[in-house]
Amino acid sequence: MKSYGKRVYISIFWLVLGAALVILEFIGKLDSFWSGMGAGLMAIAILQLIRYARYSRDSEYREKVDTAGKDERNRYISNKAWAWAGYIFVIASAVATVAFKVAGQDELSVACGCGVGIMVMLYWISYLILSRKY
């Protein structure tokens, strides 16, 4: 695992930030959205710290994680999963754009349409950059 120590410090930062958001909501400085965000940050940070502790103690687990990070097949599957997620998002958002418009929810329709537009624009920019690089 690259930059193991740095990742531990980042997880501790997220844990502290999450705790601060929860505390600020309890004393009335923030609304419940931020306490939910804080609780989520704390949960993820704790899970990551547990994972890092296991990585540092268990040599079998460390070898498994390191191998998975370097494996070409795993990288291919990961990239393919990202591509599928992008395709599914664009199609679902396009369908939702039309469905929300038909249902009279113009604001939601515009939001979904903007999401499709942003994804298509990001795809186009990425394609131009990658086509010059490769």
d(CA 6, CA 113): 39
Lowest mean pLDDT segment, chosen from 58-62, 65-69, 100-104: 65-69
Q: 20: buried, middle or exposed (CB in 10 Å: 19+, 13-18, 0-12)?
A: middle
Please state the pTM of the whole predicted model: 0.65
Least confident piece of the model among 18-32, 64-78, 102-116: 64-78
- The two most distant CA atoms of the chain are separated, in Å, by 57
At residue 84, φ and ψ (nearest 5 deg) are: -60, -45
**Confidence at residue 97, expressed as pLDDT on a 0 to 100 scale:** 97
Q: Is the pLDDT of residue 4 over 80?
A: no
DSSP state of 28: T
Q: Place 65 in a pLDDT band, splitting at 50, 70 and 90.
A: confident
With a cut of 80, say whether residue 3 has pLDDT above it.
no
108-130: per-residue pLDDT in tens? 999 999 999 999 999 999 999 99
Run of H or E residues at 58: none
